[in-house]
């Protein structure tokens, strides 16, 4: 029984990660690059506003998206007037798409701010040397800036994948778990709706094993950093 | 180039703030205007839903619960976290590394994976539903994060300062209390902010561990919305905005600290 629920949750989690990761990272990078072009005085406001989806109470964030995508919501009606009729919560593909759209909206600010901070630390002399050697802005981006951001992209990828296991509020709010399930939602609903603490514990152990696999590279990195710091 | 950059930033700000701005507008309308077909751009505004929510439905109780919970969680997490992080930043023993790695592992655990054991134990000793056990769980869940973040701030205070204080005859605790702690202000604010956000925003643990009398604001909003009533839905929308306004102020005041906290783990 648990096997099929868990398999479904893992299946959706994988779909979610595969679709959202590239969009979140590329979107975050584009926004970060754009923000570096904004004058200092406006940056503070721009960053604060850009971070909203990530900081606001997750329940409220998910609800505000739901209210836009109700059958009589703003987005649904605007699409309707363009001749596109979608009942978002009624079908599997649209319910999944909605959770994925919410995921991009929620997670992009984190990728943005991490990459933006990374851009501040791109070595200036490397950039200058590249332009002295006649590299175009695009070449400088590709050969100097992006390699520098590599480790951060890995970091975002790991955090985002772990967050996908934890997906909870959007699942509860947007679809009540139909068509879209996350590992964390499955554990929660087995425990509180089925009232089966034993089965929920089994789900919890499976979750912990899954997270442990993702954790290994992070722990290794932390140990290395620690040793480097001590030496 | 610059125009393109402005365009991208403005588009994202519109996408980021749009859903919340629309929710704010909905909260000030009657149901018939809020979800009218076709969409109404202009409609009469009203504060009725806020009034009913706070004065009739007792949302102030939920606000009080959230306030108590966040205050308790932040102050206790910071107190324990400071002592632990200071020790971990100064130790050279192997156990320090082990503890830090354990903390990192626990930080990554989805909260629901911890719930079955908490629920069974609280049920067995008859405390499930009240606020103190929930606060205990939030502190436990928050602690690894506080320790890691505070430790990074302690590491930035040179060890020589401790040594100087110790040579001058301070005990270890005096050195910590009178010499190190006073320069830790920014670290405490940043860590406190994220502890605040964790407790204030929590829905999963709070909804599983509180009963009807002890609901926090997010739990109350969720329970209101499940009911199939237009008036309750509008109250839920007003409640969502009530919960969001303090956060907006917080972001406005502490934006730099939030950015610092978000990027600290990644950029070194």
CA B120 to chain CA mean position, Å:
25
Q: Is the pLDDT of residue A202 over 80?
A: yes
Structure confidence at residue B268 (pLDDT): 43
Domain assignment of residue B87, given as a range = 49-264
DSSP string, A189-208: HHHHTS--HHHHHHHHHHHH
- Looking at the structure, tell me whether residues B30 and B110 fall in a common domain: no
Q: How far apart are CA A22 and CA A19, in angstroms?
A: 7
- Looking at the structure, tell me whether residues B69 and B84 fall in a common domain: yes
* Residue indicated by tokens 């839903």: B49
Q: What is the CATH number of the domain that holds B211?
A: 1.10.3720.10
Nearest residue of A to residue B12, measured between CA atoms: A50
Q: Is the pLDDT of residue A28 over 60?
A: yes
Structure confidence at residue A1 (pLDDT): 61
- Looking at the structure, tell me whether residues B42 and B53 fall in a common domain: no
Nearest residue of B to residue A110, measured between CA atoms: B262
The total number of structural domains that make up chain B: 2
Structure confidence at residue B266 (pLDDT): 59
Tell me the pLDDT band of A229, cut-offs 50, 70 and 90: low
B221 in A contact zone (CB under 8 Å): yes
- Looking at the structure, tell me whether residues B245 and B224 fall in a common domain: yes
In this complex, the residue of A68, A70, A192 whose CB is nearest that of residue B19 is A68
Structure confidence at residue A158 (pLDDT): 84
Calculated CA dihedral for residues A199, A201, A206, A210, nearest 10 degrees: 140
Domain assignment of residue A64, given as a range = 2-230
Q: What is the CATH number of the domain that holds A215?
A: 1.10.3720.10
- Looking at the structure, tell me whether residues B64 and B193 fall in a common domain: yes
Return the residue in A60, A70, A119 with the most chain B beta carbons within 10 A, the one to mutate for interface testing: A60
Residue B92 structure tokens: 């050279």
Q: A86-90, A196-200, B24-28: which has the highest mean pLDDT?
A: B24-28
Tell me the pLDDT band of A231, cut-offs 50, 70 and 90: very low
Q: Among A106, A113, A123, A107, which residue's Cα sits nearest to residue A157?
A: A107
Residue A15 Cα, gap to closest chain B Cα (Å): 19
User: Long-range CB contacts (< 8 A, 24+ apart) of B151-159?
Assistant: B151/B85, B151/B88, B151/B89, B151/B100, B152/B187, B152/B264, B153/B85, B153/B184, B153/B186, B153/B187, B153/B190, B153/B191, B154/B85, B154/B86, B154/B89, B154/B90, B154/B180, B154/B184, B154/B187, B155/A229, B155/B89, B157/B183, B157/B184, B159/B90
Mean pLDDT of A19-29: 94
Q: Among A65, A184, A161, A43, which residue's Cα sits nearest to residue A111?
A: A161
Structure confidence at residue B162 (pLDDT): 86
pLDDT in tens, chain B (268 residues): 788 999 999 999 999 999 999 999 999 998 888 888 888 888 888 898 999 889 988 899 999 999 999 999 999 999 999 999 999 998 888 888 888 888 888 888 888 888 998 998 998 998 888 999 999 999 999 999 899 899 989 988 888 888 888 888 888 888 888 888 888 888 899 999 999 999 999 999 999 999 988 999 999 999 877 767 888 889 999 999 999 999 999 999 998 888 888 887 655 4
- Looking at the structure, tell me whether residues B208 and B176 fall in a common domain: yes
The total number of structural domains that make up chain A: 1
Q: What is the pLDDT of residues A100-154, one digit of tens each?
A: 999 999 999 999 999 999 998 888 888 888 888 888 888 888 888 888 888 888 8
- Looking at the structure, tell me whether residues B71 and B41 fall in a common domain: no
ipTM of the modeled complex: 0.91
Percent residues over pLDDT 90 in chain A: 31
Residue B178 Cα, gap to closest chain A Cα (Å): 26
Structure confidence at residue B31 (pLDDT): 87
């Amino acid at each position: 029984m648990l096997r099929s629920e868990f398999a479904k949750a893992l299946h959706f989690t994988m779909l979610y990660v595969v679709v959202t990761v590239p969009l979140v990272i590329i979107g975050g990078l584009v926004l970060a690059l754009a923000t570096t072009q904004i004058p200092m005085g406006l940056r503070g406001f721009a960053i604060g506003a850009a971070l909203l989806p990530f900081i606001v109470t997750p329940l409220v964030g998910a609800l505000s998206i739901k209210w836009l995508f109700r059958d009589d919501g703003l987005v649904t009606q605007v699409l309707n007037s363009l001749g596109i009729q979608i009942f978002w919560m009624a079908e599997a593909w649209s319910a999944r798409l909605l959770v994925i759209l919410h995921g991009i909206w929620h997670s992009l600010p984190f990728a943005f701010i991490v990459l933006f901070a990374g851009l501040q630390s791109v070595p200036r002399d490397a950039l200058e040397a590249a332009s002295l050697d006649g590299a175009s802005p695009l070449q400088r981006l590709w050969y100097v800036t992006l390699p520098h951001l590599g480790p951060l992209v890995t970091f975002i990828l790991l955090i985002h994948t772990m967050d996908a296991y934890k997906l909870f509020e959007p699942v509860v709010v947007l679809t009540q778990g139909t068509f879209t399930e996350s590992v964390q939602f499955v554990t929660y609903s087995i425990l509180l709706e089925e009232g089966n603490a034993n089965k929920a514990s089994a789900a919890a152990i499976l979750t912990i094993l899954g997270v442990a696999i993702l954790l290994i590279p992070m722990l290794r990195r932390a140990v290395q950093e620690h040793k480097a710091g001590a030496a | 180039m610059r125009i393109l950059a402005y365009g991208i930033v403005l588009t994202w700000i519109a996408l980021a703030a749009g859903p919340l701005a629309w929710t704010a507008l909905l909260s000030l309308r009657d149901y018939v205007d809020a979800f009218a077909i076709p969409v109404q751009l202009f409609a009469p505004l009203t504060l009725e839903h806020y009034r009913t929510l706070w004065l009739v439905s007792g949302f102030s109780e939920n606000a009080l619960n959230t306030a108590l919970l966040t205050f308790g969680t932040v102050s206790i997490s910071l107190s324990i976290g400071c002592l632990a992080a200071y020790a971990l930043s100064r130790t050279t023993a192997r156990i320090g590394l082990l503890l830090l790695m354990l903390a990192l592992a626990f930080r990554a655990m989805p909260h629901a994976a911890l719930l079955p054991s908490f629920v069974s134990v609280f049920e067995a000793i008859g405390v499930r539903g009240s606020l103190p056990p929930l606060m205990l769980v939030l502190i436990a869940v928050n602690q690894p994060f506080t320790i890691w973040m505070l430790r990074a701030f302690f590491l930035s205070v040179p060890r020589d300062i401790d040594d100087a204080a110790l040579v001058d005859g301070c005990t270890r605790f005096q050195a910590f209390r009178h010499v190190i702690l006073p320069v830790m202000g920014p670290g405490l604010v940043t860590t406190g902010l994220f502890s605040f956000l964790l407790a204030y925003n929590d829905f999963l643990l709070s909804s599983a561990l509180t009963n009807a009398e002890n609901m926090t604001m997010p739990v109350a909003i969720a329970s209101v919305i499940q009911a199939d009533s237009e008036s309750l839905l509008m109250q839920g929308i007003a409640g969502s905005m009530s919960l969001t306004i303090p956060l907006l102020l917080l972001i406005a005041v502490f934006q730099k600290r939030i950015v610092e906290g978000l990027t600290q783990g990644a950029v070194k």
